Structure 1
Amino acid sequence: MLQRQSKAAPRRRRRSGVAGSAALAAAAFAVLAWLVGLVEVPGVSSPAPWVQQQVGSVPAAQLESAKAALAQIPVKGRAPKTGYTREQFGQAWADTDRNGCDTRNDILARDLVAPTFKPGTRDCTVLSGTLHDPYTGRDIEFQRGERSADVQIDHVVPLSDAWQKGAQQWSAQKRLEFANDPANLRAADGPANQEKGDGDLATWLPPNKPFRCEYAVAVVAVKAEYGLWMTQAEHDKAGELLAACRAA
């Protein structure tokens, strides 16, 4: 009997050790889940600092406006791309605001730091400047000429995406205005713009993570303004990004 008891005791200790390890693992997981914001502790805010840093921040009023606008954006399937061409949105970079400068140069002048202009063009034709590119976080020196494509003008909501989510039913004039609306345009790194293509929030996000909040807010604002819809995947991604945004 004494021998059997001495053999049983270690087994009880091993079981106790396993149970203790499991409890510690569960506790560690709970703490980790709280830290990343997966669970909430009553009366204690989850910091999730690195989650929020991944998408950045916008002013509180803009964030709340975007969340309200997202709730009103319809969710539908993507319509066929049939019939889409760039020409469906009118002349590229038309002077829709009639200020004497085409839209591309307007956006370059707005987004570049210290832009210079071709003499005699009424400060219209941008020759050079520095872009603090929001999509990649890099500084790009723009020089008109062979390397002009290093900086491109991106449609935040791509024309093809808009075509498949409501723009097919628009008038030609509304499509022209949409394609040249400064709210939907941003000077950006050329390769990043090419990589984006006609991607929506569900399929492409700026590589520069701290800019993703501002980018999502811009997409939501444009789609809400023009009555465009989102797919379920895009709507879910927009909600995820806005939920992670910090109010500045």
Structure 2
Amino acid sequence: METLIVSAGKRSRTVIVDTWISKSITAPTQAYKGVQSLTHFQSTKKFSDNQNSRAEALVASSTTQVRFATDRGCRVVTGRWVSSFTGNVIQNASDIDIDHVVPLAWSWDRGARQWSGERRLRFANDPVNLLPVEASLNRSKGAKGPDEWLPPAGQCGYVARFVRVVKLYDLKPSTAESAWFQEFLEECRR
């Protein structure tokens, strides 16, 4: 069992990736297809407060207090989330996927396969790399980088965040991808 501590606001939490992550990637890259699902990034453990990582991400990013399905506080039902992909307000948690800005399968092909299990878990749970967004848009994105898919709104911020995570984790995009990122962000600055 691997765990890591991340800071979320004024509190630190032990975070363990849950199996929902494997459901968020629907189009793994060719090189990643040989790996069973996304087992290198996941765990089936829950937090001591009965919340899995999806619930933790929803609680942390809601702009209002969330409502849970039961008194046990395991499954988030409602809250208020502003989608970075559209700017839309989403109040029903079942309409949300937690997007990995840098998809796990994309990262695998660009260096994550050499990481330790602890580093993979840190990457998969890093709040900088997680966004609550419309499920349909997250699924259309799949494992694509921004040179293949962009959200309908907030494209400059999305690409800037993508590049920030790539640099933070020292991932190795191709020369063409790096050139695309640079050109796109230069255009955003104009």
Same fold, judged at TM 0.5 (above): yes
Q: Which residue is 2:3 aligned to?
A: none
Residue from 36, 39, 42 that aligns with 1:87: 39
2:159 maps to 1:216: yes
**Distance between the aligned counterparts of 2:44 and 2:124, measured in 1?**
8
CA 192–93 in structure 1, closer or farther in 2 if over 3 Å, else same? farther
Higher fraction of strand: 2
Q: How does 1:1-248 map to 2 (within 5 A)?
A: 80-84=31-35, 85-91=37-43, 95=47, 101-118=51-68, 120-121=71-72, 125-143=75-93, 148=94, 150-208=95-153, 211-246=154-189
Letter in 2 for 1:131: W
Instruction: Tell me by how many angstroms 1:114 deviates.
Output: 1.7
RMSD (Å), alpha carbons: 2.6
**Distance between the aligned counterparts of 1:203 and 1:92, measured in 2?**
31
Q: Where in structure 2 are there 5+ consecutive unaligned residues?
A: 1-28
**Distance between the aligned counterparts of 1:114 and 1:141, measured in 2?**
10
Instruction: Tell me by how many angstroms 1:113 deviates.
Output: 2.7
Other structure's SS at 2:102 match: coil
Instruction: Tell me by how many angstroms 1:241 deviates.
Output: 2.3
CA 171–94 in structure 1, closer or farther in 2 if over 3 Å, else same? farther
Other structure's SS at 1:130 match: strand
Letter in 1 for 2:34: G
Q: Where in structure 1 are there 5+ consecutive unaligned residues?
A: 1-77
Query: TM-score, normalised on structure 1?
Result: 0.57
Q: Is the 8 A contact 2:66 2:80 kept in 1?
A: no
**Distance between the aligned counterparts of 1:141 and 1:80, measured in 2?**
37
Instruction: Tell me by how many angstroms 1:214 deviates.
Output: 1.3
CA 172–212 in structure 1, closer or farther in 2 if over 3 Å, else same? same
Q: In percent, how many aligned pairs have the same letter? A: 33
Q: Is the 8 A contact 1:117 1:124 kept in 2?
A: no
CA 181–100 in structure 1, closer or farther in 2 if over 3 Å, else same? farther
Q: Is the 8 A contact 1:202 1:233 kept in 2?
A: no
Count of matched residue positions in the alignment of Structure 1 and Structure 2: 160
Instruction: Tell me by how many angstroms 1:125 deviates.
Output: 4.0
Query: TM-score, normalised on structure 2?
Result: 0.73
Letter in 2 for 1:168: R
Q: Any runs of at least 4 consecutive aligned residues in structure 1 with deviations exceeding 6 A, and if so which?
A: none
CA 218–236 in structure 1, closer or farther in 2 if over 3 Å, else same? same
Structure having greater relative contact order (Cα 8 Å, sep ≥ 6): 1
Q: Is the 8 A contact 1:117 1:126 kept in 2?
A: yes
Other structure's SS at 2:66 match: strand
Instruction: Tell me by how many angstroms 1:169 deviates.
Output: 0.8
